[in-house]
Structure 1
């Protein structure tokens, strides 16, 4: 970070005593003080995932306004489960966010099974209660911002119709994988996919503000209370992102643990803690309701399928430097695709009763 730029931001935000916290994928972060209160200052990086990032006022405003809305929704559901103060400033010369300090990042490597179960259970409860907070913004999908409409979903239409169309795409994606890679052909996967898509087509009725980015680096702990930060919000069916959480912690973080994006977290050395987080999450989210568990597991199956399909799509194009950071080189992507193939078959079999 350019020291002159940092100095300008500190002056504009009227904060002092900066202490560097770390560098994420898109932002550098400092702990700062304002009016005797600890805050976190984030400044966007000039280079992310190996490429220069040009200033885009609408994209940055959408990202930060969506984060603010998500924090408000989470705190409405569970007080203190997200930063209770958040403001941002966007301009070509000076862009930053400022939020209340939520605690220390969790360290899965030092945690017991009981500790990760309890944290996962807290997060599951937070997700479930946030799903029930009504939203007044229009649209579906990821959030965008314009002067005319303010913050809104990028897609138009009715949620139930969107989910039915998406379900058909999931089935088509599996058929494509089977055509290109005979290893994906399996007796139980189609049964499990049909059951999952039929269930979601029947059950989905409400739009929720959900969070796609549930990585451990975005989970803080202070006095044993979880605080969720740095979300990637969208307007979607609530069970979908519960399934996403389960896929991340039971499969995704483990199979991508050797990529440049995730190598520093050493996820391959804390498999039990990751799976304990998922177990706790499902317990907290479902509150023991077997129907909810079936819905979440169905969405997890679809998320796992799409993880495999993304790898197939990557192999159809030129691999970019960003792809390599996220997924590895072509050889690693191809090898992982067949690991995901076996995991898809194993998980599908576990869902067939």
Structure 2
């Protein structure tokens, strides 16, 4: 069936097959060519995380349309920082995406720490410049698609009130962790999380387009430039996704390095490079503005809290096959919680002075 779909996609897109590139969690990819241009063809997998993937037109159009919107915004902000050509087709019989080949995937294991820092800095600059591009969509949150509304944010209503409610949930999640696992109780962590929640509530104004997924496999190098591919765009508080990026590179990828999902990347062997990417990202995203650094670090702390809380929740339920692939066994999850607890306390101690300074600036 995969070979038949590949043949159908090649014919429908009018492209010539060059080579197989590999697969991600949800798609397989091939390098193809047309009119002397190198392109990438992606076809949805029929089985992902060992489960059949049923056809869902609205979900695919939301995903592919969101990618198109994000690529357009990125290229307006930083020309060449996303594929300049992108097209997609969605139908029950055949779905695929086609985009300009963006370069070679970064290799954290062979790059120097300085290159890792500079790569992160370029990504940070792309993130904040892209936030300045109007997205023109209604709603907020993850993107959705319908025949009546087209592409839009999946949530409606007051985005400010929704963010405040989310902040309250963060603090409630921390309390639940402390009640269930007393090792999470920590005065500095409690204070830092409270300040981070207050700071985001003060600084948020309007949902902007942001990217939740800039994992190393989605970062390409094209000469001296960085090209971001396969995003997970959403309309959200942009500092939140900046904090998510830093949490991924400073903690998450290394913490989950031995899971089936991430094992092939050998993240434990390049933990120092990952941290340098995060350090560079903050430098590029903030452009030296201490207030922005404080906001990003506060969001990083909240993201780390939710990483720990999601692990705690997994312990109280039967693990699906997808959850096992992503997070490992319950024994591994429980062991990882101990690591995440120490990381949370360490980060809280590191950023609390910055958050206190931000709070002081607010009232000065």
Query: Could you say which residue in structure 2 is the equivalent of 1:5?
Result: 5
Question: What secondary structure does 2:310 align onto?
Answer: helix
Q: Deviation per CA, 1:207-242, whole angstroms, max 9, x where unpaired?
A: 111110110000000111100000011100110000
For residues 1-353 of structure 1, the aligned pairs below 5 Å read 2-353=2-353
| 8 Å Cα contact 2:62-2:145 kept in structure 1 | yes
Give the whole-Å Cα distance in 2 for the aligned partners of 1:27 and 1:122: 27
Q: Deviation per CA, 1:174-232, whole angstroms, max 9, x where unpaired?
A: 00000011111111111101111111111111211111011000000011110000001
Question: What secondary structure does 2:347 align onto?
Answer: helix
Question: What secondary structure does 2:99 align onto?
Answer: strand
| 8 Å Cα contact 2:17-2:30 kept in structure 1 | no
Unaligned runs of 5+ in 2: 354-364
Alpha-carbon offset, residue 158 of structure 1 = 2.0
Alpha-carbon offset, residue 66 of structure 1 = 0.5
Alignment RMSD (CA, Å): 0.8
Give the whole-Å Cα distance in 2 for the aligned partners of 1:277 and 1:166: 28
Question: What secondary structure does 1:261 align onto?
Answer: coil
Q: Which moved more, 1:4-13 or 1:320-329?
A: 4-13
Alpha-carbon offset, residue 98 of structure 1 = 0.1
Give the whole-Å Cα distance in 2 for the aligned partners of 1:149 and 1:18: 38
Give the whole-Å Cα distance in 2 for the aligned partners of 1:129 and 1:284: 10
Alpha-carbon offset, residue 4 of structure 1 = 2.2
| 8 Å Cα contact 2:247-2:300 kept in structure 1 | yes
Q: Deviation per CA, 1:283-335, whole angstroms, max 9, x where unpaired?
A: 00000100000000000000000000100111111001000110001111111
Report the count of equivalent residues. Answer: 353
Unaligned runs of 5+ in 1: none
Task: Give the TM-score normalised by structure 2.
Answer: 0.96
